[in-house]
């Protein structure tokens, strides 16, 4: 059996589905192939889905700001909800990082981000449960927040399909050959797809899938453990995301009574190769006790968590590159990759999708993505924040 398409997107996570949407919207004959039975079951499914413009690299600030605007109008544009909760995003630092936060916030403001510096007391007015004794300074983005990963990825997939894209699930790619003008891609079923353009959006599988296309994509899976704690009855409903750069944790509402606790400490990540049949999604006792400790240090009433109150725990795989920034690049005129988002890609998906669609269609880049090229690693030109935090380092 053989099928033909103008553009073949490989991988039906958030990046693949967003790319397929923008391609279909432009009228291109688009096919997406995903090895799972439905979209977004891998890294996307475990995402905190936090949306913010807080980065130390101006290019990323600009991309994240534009993407944040798209999340705000997502439901109207896509016609299906993404579950965006624009509850705000905040950062807390101690004296050692205070000047850095002043500089980074000034940079954000100069780029048009609605961001402001707050005293810890002012932040406590916004998040009354937060403990501020050890904090020197805060920053706040009222337009940030978080969305729903399953809703967002399903929305992009559904809209792409409505616009004519051919989405194929349970269709893992097993082979690829260049025929000069494009690609012959073989699925496990034996079917071959002839594609003029291919966009790789293969997350943690980018190394083996990239190799089928002659690419060496340095993407390494790293396991991040998440603990959702019960909040006290006095602390329910949504609250702004709190990024605690003192204790290296981030906190987000999870439903009405839960608190998602994630680590911002690279030392807590473990390299973890995904197997074709999945990976161990459990969370270790150390991660649970760290999450409880960090939550009790940062929030009133969370000391109760020491006595129990774990709602659920799970792990997800960050798709890391050596500098913790994505690869958004083209290789010749028929192959493109959007991979290696290193645990912070959710917020960027709307702009990544449009940028990769433009690449596949041979259009001018709609956004500046020129810093995200693959050769930067071999050339030792990693993308680095000009404002590295003392403990969080380059994570922001
Ligand atoms: C715990 C956790 C918390 C996070 N929190 C945030 C956050 O708060 N904010 C934020 O911005 N980002 C966050 N992220 C990161 C964000 O979720 C990811 O960057 C993003 O979801 C990556 O999407 P993707 O489409 O590149 O990868 P994936 O969702 O992994 O999709 C890749 C797809 O490729 C498919 N595939 C693989 N091999 C094949 C094959 N042979 N044939 C066909 N298909 C194949 C896979 O099945 C998969 O569906 C978080 C990630 C994790 C793990």
**What pLDDT shows up at residue 337?**
98
372/324 Cα distance (integer angstroms): 11
275/110 Cα distance (integer angstroms): 45
Which residues pair with residue 50 across a beta bridge? 146
Is the CB of residue 395 below 6 angstroms from any atom belonging to ligand 1? no
pLDDT (mean) for 283-295: 90
Ligand 1 atom having least distance to the Cα of 345? 19
Ligand 1 atom having least distance to the Cα of 318? 53
Domain-by-domain residue ranges, the chain?
2-47+150-219+322-378, 86-143+220-320
Q: Give, using CA atoms, the residue closest to atom 42 of ligand 1.
A: 172
Q: Give, using CA atoms, the residue closest to atom 15 of ligand 1.
A: 343
Q: Domain 86-143+220-320 in CATH: superfamily?
A: D-Amino Acid Oxidase, subunit A, domain 2 (3.30.9.10)
**What pLDDT shows up at residue 393?**
72
Q: Domain 2-47+150-219+322-378 in CATH: superfamily?
A: FAD/NAD(P)-binding domain (3.50.50.60)
**What pLDDT shows up at residue 240?**
98
Instruction: State the pTM of this model.
Output: 0.97
Give me 312's structure tokens: 């659920």
Is the CB of residue 392 below 6 angstroms from any atom belonging to ligand 1? no
Q: Are 361 and 9 in contact (CB under 8 A)?
A: no
**Does the pLDDT value for residue 96 go beyond 90?**
yes
Kindly report, residue by residue over 236-261, the tens digit of the pLDDT. 999 999 999 999 999 999 999 999 99
pLDDT (mean) for 36-61: 97
pLDDT (mean) for 209-218: 98
Q: Residue 377 contacts by C-beta under 8 Å, 6 or more apart in sequence? A: 218, 321, 322, 323
2-47+150-219+322-378 and 86-143+220-320: identical CATH topology: no
**Does the pLDDT value for residue 301 go beyond 60?**
yes
Pocket test for ligand 1, best of 224, 321, 346, 351 (most atoms within 8 A of CB): 346
């Amino acid at each position: 059996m053989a099928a033909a398409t103008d553009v073949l997107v490989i991988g039906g996570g958030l990046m693949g589905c967003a790319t397929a949407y923008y391609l279909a919207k432009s009228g291109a004959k688009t096919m997406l192939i995903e090895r799972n039975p439905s979209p977004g079951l891998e890294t996307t499914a475990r995402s905190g889905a936090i949306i913010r413009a807080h980065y130390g690299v101006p290019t990323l600030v600009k991309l994240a700001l534009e993407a944040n605007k798209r999340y705000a109008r997502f439901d109207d544009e896509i016609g299906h909800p993404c579950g965006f909760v624009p509850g705000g995003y905040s950062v807390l630092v101690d004296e050692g990082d205070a000047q850095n936060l002043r500089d980074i916030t000034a940079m954000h403001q100069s780029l048009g981000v609605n961001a402001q510096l707050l005293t810890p007391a002012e932040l406590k007015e916004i998040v009354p449960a937060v403990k501020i004794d050890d904090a020197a300074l805060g920053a706040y983005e009222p337009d940030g927040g978080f969305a729903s990963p399953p809703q967002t990825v399903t929305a992009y997939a559904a809209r792409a399909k409505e616009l004519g894209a051919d989405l194929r699930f349970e269709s893992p790619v097993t082979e690829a050959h260049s025929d000069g003008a494009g690609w012959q891609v073989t699925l496990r079923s034996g079917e071959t797809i002839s594609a003029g353009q291919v966009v790789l959006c293969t997350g943690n599988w980018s190394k083996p899938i990239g190799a089928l296309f002659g690419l060496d994509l340095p993407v390494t899976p790293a396991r991040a453990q998440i603990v959702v704690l019960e909040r006290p009855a006095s602390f329910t409903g949504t609250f702004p995301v709190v990024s605690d750069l003192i204790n290296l944790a981030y906190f987000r509402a999870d439903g009405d009574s839960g608190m998602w606790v994630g680590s911002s400490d690279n030392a807590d990540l473990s390299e973890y190769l995904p197997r074709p049949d999945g990976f161990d999604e459990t969370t270790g006792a150390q991660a649970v006790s760290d999450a409880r400790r960090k939550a009790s240090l940062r929030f009133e009433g969370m000391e109760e968590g020491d006595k129990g109150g774990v709602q659920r725990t799970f792990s997800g795989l960050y798709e890391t590159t050596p500098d913790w920034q994505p690869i958004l690049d083209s290789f010749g005129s028929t192959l493109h990759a959007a991979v290696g988002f290193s645990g912070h890609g959710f917020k960027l998906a709307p702009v990544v999708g449009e940028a990769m669609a433009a690449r596949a269609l041979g259009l001018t880049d709609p956004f500046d993505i020129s810093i995200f090229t693959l050769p930067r690693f071999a050339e030792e030109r990693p993308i680095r924040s000009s404002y590295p935090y003392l403990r969080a380092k380059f994570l922001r």
